[in-house]
């Protein structure tokens, strides 16, 4: 509500549902309504207060939080400049139905900050995960195989929500970091095209990320090639993304910088989402239409060896090398091991020791909303 709407107000006192006395300010004439609301709907009012949680020590240091946290387990290790720790936390007063029990792991080095936390249904299950993984670094690889696992959240350089201080706002799984500025270009909430590096690719690959804010860092550089030792001062950005990663303008080198998406470029987000569906085997092609009538078209064009890769029921005829023949129906769903119905038939008959000369698909009835192909990222559902 605009500040001028509160230029005229009145004071009052009332009690909450358990009798806590509170003072309030409201618009004239609304005192009775406010008192009834507090008495019927508010149990107790607590003002967020940042404090050092004495029992969440990290070596010789502690962490600050405005929440009531109990650290049940802790282990630290590493060497200066590349240390880390893992801990089991119970948050006694999580807001907005957030999870009470987390296993938080932080690994800090001179070149990156890899941190994450996992959520668990019970304290006992969180402690069990800690005992299973605290001696190694494999917690992030497959935590789902342990009972009670809910999800994993990568934090990177961002602060997890349960270590929020003062009046820091909770945004998704993070505390909005102190010192972040609303850059005129990289504003909070702006969708950006970000180029990430991968060892297995020849060049950076694009992805869409949401900006959490920007930190401006000032650095003094010395001119080592000059006898005068002249120093120059420059400022660069560190941009934080909602997935916990960040982009350091000072270390960008030859990599392409992030690109904020303008309104006329939002189609890129839609195209990437549709492309992900295509890779997952949910579709075979897609189109993006532009205002001038042109289209962006993406499609998968399989070769003949990968024909018949759509989920459905197939009627096939098989001729064997010994002259024998077999005919029947096959219910087929594409998987990485059996991407086509032909491969499904071959593997099934190979187990019976049959040598195939030819396979003919006589008829097929594809599933209306079935998988279109095995997909790049397809994973069989867990039983």
Q: Average per-residue pLDDT in the chain? A: 76
Cα separation, 161 vs 257, whole angstroms: 28
pLDDT tens for 238-267 read 888 887 788 888 876 667 788 888 766 767
Cα separation, 263 vs 245, whole angstroms: 24
Q: Residue 226 is encoded by which pair of tokens?
A: 């000059």
Cα separation, 103 vs 118, whole angstroms: 5
Residue with the bigger pLDDT between 177 and 110: it is 177
**Global confidence as pTM:** 0.51
**pLDDT range class, residue 126, cuts 50, 70, 90:** very high
pLDDT of residue 150: 93
The mean pLDDT of 205-228, rounded to a whole number, is: 72
Residue with the bigger pLDDT between 306 and 72: it is 72
Cα separation, 75 vs 96, whole angstroms: 29
pLDDT tens for 10-57 read 877 788 888 887 878 888 888 889 989 998 998 888 776 665 444 456
Sheet holding 174-175, edge to edge: 159-160, 174-175, 170-171
pLDDT of residue 228: 58
Kindly tell me the burial class for residue 143, based on how many C-beta atoms sit within 10 Å of its own C-beta (0-12, 13-18, 19 or more).
buried
pLDDT of residue 1: 47
With beta carbons less than 8 A apart as the criterion, state whether 120 and 126 touch.
yes
Which uninterrupted H or E stretch holds 276? Answer: helix 267-279
259-260 and 325-332: which strand pairing? Answer: unpaired
Cα separation, 63 vs 53, whole angstroms: 7
């Amino acid at each position: 509500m605009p500040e001028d709407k509160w230029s005229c107000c009145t004071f009052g006192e009332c009690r909450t549902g358990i009798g806590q006395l509170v003072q309030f300010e409201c618009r004239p004439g609304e005192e009775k309504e406010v008192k009834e609301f507090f008495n019927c709907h508010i149990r107790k009012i607590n003002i967020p207060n940042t404090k050092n949680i004495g029992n969440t020590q990290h070596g010789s240091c502690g962490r600050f939080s405005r929440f009531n946290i109990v650290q049940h387990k802790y282990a630290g290790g590493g060497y200066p400049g590349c240390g880390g720790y893992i801990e089991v936390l119970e948050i006694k007063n999580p807001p907005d139905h957030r999870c009470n029990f987390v296993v938080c792991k932080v690994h800090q080095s001179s070149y990156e900050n890899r941190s994450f936390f996992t959520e668990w249904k019970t304290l006992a299950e969180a402690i069990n995960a800690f005992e299973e993984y605290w001696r190694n670094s494999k917690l992030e690889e497959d935590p789902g195989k342990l009972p009670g696992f809910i999800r994993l959240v990568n934090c990177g350089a961002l602060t997890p929500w349960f270590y929020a201080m003062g009046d820091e706002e909770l945004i998704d799984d993070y505390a909005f970091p102190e010192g972040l500025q609303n850059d005129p270009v990289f504003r909070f909430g702006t969708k950006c095209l970000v180029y990430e590096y991968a060892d297995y690719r020849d060049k950076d690959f694009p992805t869409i990320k949401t900006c959490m804010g920007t930190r401006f860092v000032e650095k003094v550089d010395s001119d080592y090639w000059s006898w005068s030792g002249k120093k120059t001062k420059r400022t660069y950005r560190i941009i934080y993304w909602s997935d916990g990663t960040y982009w350091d303008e000072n270390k960008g080198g030859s990599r392409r910088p992030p690109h904020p998406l303008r309104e006329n470029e939002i189609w890129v987000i839609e195209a990437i989402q549709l492309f992900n569906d295509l890779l997952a085997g949910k579709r075979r092609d897609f189109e993006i239409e532009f205002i001038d009538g042109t289209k962006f078209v993406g499609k998968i064009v399989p070769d003949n060896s990968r024909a018949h890769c759509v989920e459905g029921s197939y009627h096939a005829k098989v001729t064997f090398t010994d002259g024998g023949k077999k005919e029947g129906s096959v219910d087929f769903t594409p998987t990485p091991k059996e991407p086509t119905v032909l491969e499904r038939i071959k593997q099934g008959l190979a187990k019976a020791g049959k040598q195939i000369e030819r396979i003919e698909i006589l008829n097929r009835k594809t599933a209306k909303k079935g998988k279109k192909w095995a997909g790049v990222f397809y994973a069989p559902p867990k039983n």
